Structure formats: C-alpha cells, structure tokens
Chains A and B, each alone.
Chain A
Amino acid sequence: MGILDGKQVLVTGGARGIGFEIAKKMAGEGAKVFVNDVKDEILDIAVTELLKAGFNAEGYKADITDEEAVAKMFHIIEKKGGLDVLVNNAGLSIRGVHALRTGTVEHDVKKVTEIGLMDWNGVLNINLTGTFLCTRAAVPLLKKSNNGRIINMSSRAGRAGGSVSDIAYVTTKAGIIGFTKQCAIELGAYGITANAIAPGVIMSEWLKDHWENLSNERQETLLNSIPLKRTGEPQEIANICVFLASDSSSYITGTTLDANGGSYLS
C-alpha cells in the first residue's frame, strides 16, 4: 500500500538522474508510471530496472520539444487510463544542449557573450517549450482526475542565479516559476494544483561528471556555502515530488519548493 496507489504519472526525462529517481519512488508508492525520455537506450535500461523491481512502469520515447510526438504520447496515455500527475522534469543546460548537438562536452560554464543562438534556443526549447507542450496536452486528462497535479522542475539557479549555471538555464528555470504560478491560477478551478521544485546542487549523473572536473578548492567552497554541508541526492528530490503528488499537499499550489540544504534561503 503506497500513498500514490491508483494514480497514473508521467515523468519526462525520466530515464536517468533525478527523473529516474522520481519515477522509481512514485512507482514504489503504488503509482503507474509512464517514463518518457528522448534517448531510447537509457530509457530501455531504466524501464527494465523498474519492471524488475516489480513496479508498474512503461516507457515512451518522445522528444518533448516535438509537438506531434507529444500529442501522440498523450493520446496513448489517455487510452491507457488517463493521467493524474504530470512531472515536467526533462531539462538541460547549455552544456547539455551543446553536447547533444555537437558531441563535445565543455566543462567551463559559458558566459552570456559566449553562448551561440542555437544552444540558447535549444535550452529554451527543452526547458520551457517542452514544459508548455506537455502541460497543454496533459490538462484535458488532468481535468478528468479528481486530484490533478502538475509538478515542474525549476532550480535554485532560477531563484538566485549561480556560479555553476549558465544564463540560458537560469532564464528558463526562472521562467518555470512564472509558468507554474499561471497554471495554478488557470487550473485551480478544476482541482488541479501546480507547483515547482527548486533543487540546489544534486548529485545526478550530469553533475557527477561536472563535479569531478572542479578543483578540490572549488568543491569545498561550494559545500561550505550549504548549511547542511553536502550536496543533495536525486532521491531527496523524488521524495518531494511524491509529497507534491500526494493528497497531503492538497492546498499547496503555485509555490516553488526549495530543496537546497539551505544554500539559498528563500
């Protein structure tokens, strides 16, 4: 018996990192989880792991920036019983988009003058347009649920900026917060709540790579700026997602929940 028994959930970008932990935790709480990702190799691995653990999970390969692909995905979800919770998790920084586009990973954080338009557009497309497309397609399904929930992944960087983030990423993550508020206003009448989570430094796959490229000194400075003196784990973000998806959070809407160990106190 879990606190999400009987709920149907979609997690975008759920094949690895925070998204995967969200899918796993929600499935563990009894939800049926649709796992979306753009990369099918890692998606297969992720879904196999969930199924092996005895969870109710299904994978959908779709690029959330592709309007048609998104429409198709939601059409299938509707046929399979509808949706109660949408987790807009897929998101990338300039580094991620650049690597996807060119195959080369650059570890230095690019400054505003160093960012090409293609990379800028890529970040805005995934983080904002993708969130919009999925939300727009999900709303008719969420209206049919008694407790529709939209959970968007913002970031500490969207609240306060930050030395490890680029400006396109920060822009979109702040944008997510506004998007979330307006969703709350427009959809409250249908019993749908919309909230954002703003994680601080979380040891997900992509951060691990980046972290190892930071000097010891830089790592120490970063850790020292966090009152809890440690980075967060993807599971700790997944936990919050479960709370926001559960009936316990029924009067919470339009908010951004900070999970950053206290590193930026909002």
Chain B
Amino acid sequence: MELTGRIALVTGAAKGIGAEITNGLLKKGAKVILTDINMENLISKTNEFREEGYDVDSKLLDVREEQQVIEAFKWIDEKYGRLDILVNNAGLSPKVNGIRRNTHDIPTSEWDTVLDINLKGTFLCTREALPLMQKGKWGRVISIASQAGRTGSRVSGTHYSASKAGIIGFMRTLATEYGTFGITANSIAPGPIETDLLYINDSGKIDTYIKNIPVGRLGKAQEVASAVTYLCSVDAGFINGATIDVNGGLFML
C-alpha cells in the first residue's frame, strides 16, 4: 500500500476531522500515532482503530505545552527512531451558544487560547518533528488551516482567522527551508465541514451557508482526510508550499 512503512502523527486525532485523517492514513497502510488533549476520546478512538486491526499508537498531548510536545517527540524517537508524516490538525474555534464573539467582546484569555492551540501548537509540533523527519530523508508536514484564513468568516472569530492565516504563512516559509531534505510542507483549507466544531446555533444560517456552496452541501470530514492522504503520497511530491481548498467552491482563490 501507498503508505506502508510510514509513521504518522496526527494532533487532535480523537474526533472530527483528525479522526478521519487518521482513518485515511491507516487505510493507506501507515502506522498512526493518535494524539489529543481529551483522554477519554483518545482512548476510545484508539481502541476503535485497534479493534479494526489497524496499527495505531497513542499519546495524550496538549499541543500548547512545550514540555509535553518535546517529551512526546522524544518518546517517538526512542520508540520508532523516526517520523514521516505530521498532521497539525488540533484546533479550536470558540463559540458561545454556537455564536462567535465579535472582536470587541473577545477576552485576552480567549485570544491567547486560540493562538496557542492553532498557531503555537503547530509551531511546536513541527519544530520537534523536523529532526525526526530529516533522519528518514523524507517527510510530509500538513497543517489544517481553514477557509477563515483565506478570506473573512461569518461564523468564526477574528482570533481564529488570524491563527489560520498565520498557519498558511508558516507553512509557506517552512516549504522553503526543508525541500532539499525531501520534506514538503502544505496546508489544507477546509470550508464548512460537518463536525462538532462547525456547530452553529442557527439552522437558518446553515441554510444560507449551504445555498452559497456551489456543490450544495456541507463537506464531510473524510473529504478533508482524502486531501491529506493525497498530499502524503509519493504522487504529490512536487506540491510544496501550497494551500489546498476543500470547500465545495464556497471560496475560490
């Protein structure tokens, strides 16, 4: 299989898009290390995959915590000696009763939390993963950005947009640094995908949303996952520094 022998780590893998990304990589033959901040979900998701006969491992990991990140990658180094694929997926889009806070209402603590998880977490995991990828002379760093980082959003807040646009910039510059080691760096920018994160407390709003999507429906987490597995393939080796929109045509750039 395409990814047989590859070792992958997915952050925020316990549910939603992260769980589907994990599923997609497993189906292509990779070994996947699931990480998440939510222990209960992490254990049950990992067991679910294990029961299906897949090669999985897991590690409780809050991507914001430098020490935890360092230790997690040290553990991988000791256990497996390398890492081939990193998917920076963990992310947060805070809402109050399904509605974002407008900027004048955002407390600094909420701003910091979003930037810490979405942006600093991506930096920390990538930094610690790179030496392990360089060992294998092959690597794929894939970060889950968002349509909100490509254009304005009507459902998520300014902190979320700032962090997701930040991810795209981060990945583009990363792409210039490690190409000669066989490591590519790309972003995926999903539009509205049916997961808990999308939860909008207003069915009217969802309907308007869908009306504006050329394919006439929300996306599925698997449809983000299939873009990830594609970027991990050997076939995608000349794609570097790119952002792939998976949004049903809602926003085209």
Contact = CB atoms under 8 A, between A and B. Distances in A.
A249 B226 contact: yes
B240 A261 contact: yes
Contacts of A260: 238, 240
A248 B226 CA distance: 5
A131 interface: no
A29 to B, nearest CB: 11
Contacts of A259: 238-239, 242
Contacts of B227: 248-249, 252
A233 B237 CA distance: 10
A73 B191 CA distance: 37
How many B residues touch the partner, as a band?
A: 35 or more
A181 B213 CA distance: 12
Given A242-B235, A257-B239, A265-B241, A185 B249 contact: yes
Question: Which 6 pairs of residues, A with B, have the shortest CB-CB distance?
Answer: A188-B214, A239-B235, A254-B252, A248-B226, A227-B179, A262-B240
Interface residues of A, number: 39
B252 A251 contact: no
User: B216, B219, B230: which has the most chain A beta carbons within 10 Å?
Assistant: B230
Interface string A241-255: 011000011111111
Contact of B243 (A228, A243, A266): A266
B167 interface: no
Nearest to B190: A251
Contacts of A251: 191, 215, 219-220, 223-224, 246-248
Given A188-B248, A251-B220, A257 B242 contact: yes
Interface of B: 172, 175-177, 179-180, 184, 191, 213-216, 219-220, 223-224, 226-227, 229-230, 233, 235-249, 251-253
B230 to A, nearest CB: 5
A253 B249 contact: yes
Interface of A: 180-181, 184-185, 187-189, 191, 193, 200, 226-229, 232-233, 236-237, 239-240, 242-243, 248-262, 265-266
Contacts, number: 121
B213 A255 contact: no
10 contacts: A188-B216, A232-B238, A236-B238, A240-B236, A243-B235, A249-B230, A252-B227, A252-B247, A260-B240, A261-B240
B214 A254 contact: yes
Given A229-B180, A248-B230, A252-B245, A265 B220 contact: no
Contacts of A184: 214, 249, 252
B248 A266 contact: no
A149 to B, nearest CB: 12
Contact of B172 (A191, A232, A256, A265): A265
